[in-house]
Amino acid sequence: MAEIAHEHEVQISRPFRLVGGPGGFAALVALVVWGLMLSGVPSWWPAFAGGTASLLVPAALLLAVTCTGAGFVHVLRTHEPAIQHTHARYGLLGALTVGVFGLVAVLSHLGAPTLVTPLPAAAIMVSLFLNQRIALAAVLAWGLLLQALPAQGADVLIIGSLGSWAALHALRRVRERWDVGRAGFRVAAVMAVSTLLMMLLRGRGLDDAGLSAVHAALSGPMAVVLAVGVLPYLEKLSGIVTPFTLLELANPAQPLLRTLLLKAPGTYHHSILVGNLGEAAAEAVGADPLLVRVGAYYHDVGKTKRPYFFIENQQGMPNQHDQISPRLSALVITAHVREGIELAREHRLPEQVAAFIPTHHGCSLVSYFFHQAKEAEGGEEVLEEHFRYPGPRPTTKETAIVMLADGVEATCRTLTRPSPEQIEATIRRIVQKRVDEGELSEAPLTLAEIEVIIGVFNRILQGLYHQRIEYPDQLLEREERARREDRRRLGGSTRA
């Protein structure tokens, strides 16, 4: 899977890998912004031309830009270590930086008001591609860098930042494309009101302040047009999925999900339940709930190749494993991971979604068939590595949550007339087993977060598998079955 992921990243995000990494990102920001400032022929440049002081201005600008870019990279590496897993993320930020300053230069050349700023649009895109914390840091860095441009002032930093923060607040939960449209309305409203108040407090007339507010409000629709228009191209170039792609993949009409439903309905139902469990747990620990839900939908697609070898699809049929050896059974069971990866490649699933397929079992042992093989062949000749999944283990919160939800749901479904205590004990046993086996050793989950996940699983599964009140006809039917069983046992003992 690592080779597949690497190949996918090279093919999809090669343009952004050219500027990937912290150093490349900082250098790109510094050179592009410095070039834009010098090419703009600022009004203060002639005062320095021809003298030794002429070197001080570009040197100071370059130093300011480099320090801001380096500070931004330091914040990312300190508070967002996951961004270092792929250079495409740095490349994306570099490309958006070029876009922000390039668009500012174009708008300035066209004589547009300075309060018409692309900052909210860029904030929306960073939020959709990465997360809101990175978007907040990026808006602050871009706003500070814009102050070095002669046509930009403090108003752009203040008003643009307020509009960007309004957009990010509107995009806390993205469920449809119209959410971006609502964010644009909030940007327009916040920037217009902020500009109007600021101008009135400075003693400007109502007509002048109102015109400036209208100019600032134009940033709202511009943010929507830019974000929706540029989003598909950036998604293809970077290889990073957005919530909109995930929503499309969650549609039951998707060919792969349709195949799963028709060929392995039991697995499909299990995947839906795992998605519900995982989504709730992800929300509780600050992971990406939509990615978890979609990853859970696809984590078992490999079972469509041999659906009847998995108990949830047998539905009263004879157990297929009774006809083959434990070793062959283990090969069939573990093969659904490899076959799932092949299906993910065939259907061009994004890397972030395909990652759930090999990690939902990690390197765990197929213990049932391992012990069967030991009994049949003798313990000395049976090696554990022949009965383990190929891995890798989960490396993100999202994949770790799906691993836990998968094991917990499958085990609790086998309980007969479970009590609340039995459900909670089963959940804790499965989770503790994963921890003891080291399956979560590479995932960034803390013990406190694991405890929260256990609580969420327990709350949901209690509602799914709780003991229901038996109606009179059900009680009579159960009592009749018990009497027939008693008569059968008594008859057998008499004949004996």
Q: Which of 174-178, 212-216, 488-492 has the lowest mean pLDDT?
A: 488-492
Q: Which of 32-36, 383-387, 446-450 has the lowest mean pLDDT?
A: 32-36
More confident residue, 12 or 329: 329
For residue 33, the model assigns a pLDDT of 53
Question: Residues 91-108: pLDDT tens digits?
Answer: 888 888 888 888 888 888
Average pLDDT over residues 11-34: 49
Q: Is the pLDDT of residue 281 over 70?
A: yes
Closest CA to 69 of 105, 95, 97: 97
Beta partners for residue 365, in sequence order: 388
Q: Domain ranges for the chain, please list them.
A: 2-240, 245-465, 471-496
For residue 42, the model assigns a pLDDT of 46
For residue 50, the model assigns a pLDDT of 47
Is 110 in contact with 102 (CB distance < 8 Å)? no
- Give, in order, the Cα–Cα distances in Å from 46 to each of 36, 42, 49, 151, 403: 17, 8, 5, 16, 64
| DSSP element (H, E) containing 476 | helix 472-495
For residue 303, the model assigns a pLDDT of 96
- Give, in order, the Cα–Cα distances in Å from 292 to each of 34, 283, 392: 41, 10, 17
Which pair of structure tokens corresponds to residue 263?
């060929």
For residue 474, the model assigns a pLDDT of 54
> Would you give the DSSP letter of residue 468?
P
Question: Residues 322-369: pLDDT tens digits?
Answer: 889 999 999 999 999 999 999 999 999 999 999 999 999 999 999 889
Fold category of 245-465 in CATH: Hypothetical protein af1432 (1.10.3210)
The pLDDT confidence band at residue 123, using thresholds 50, 70 and 90, is very high
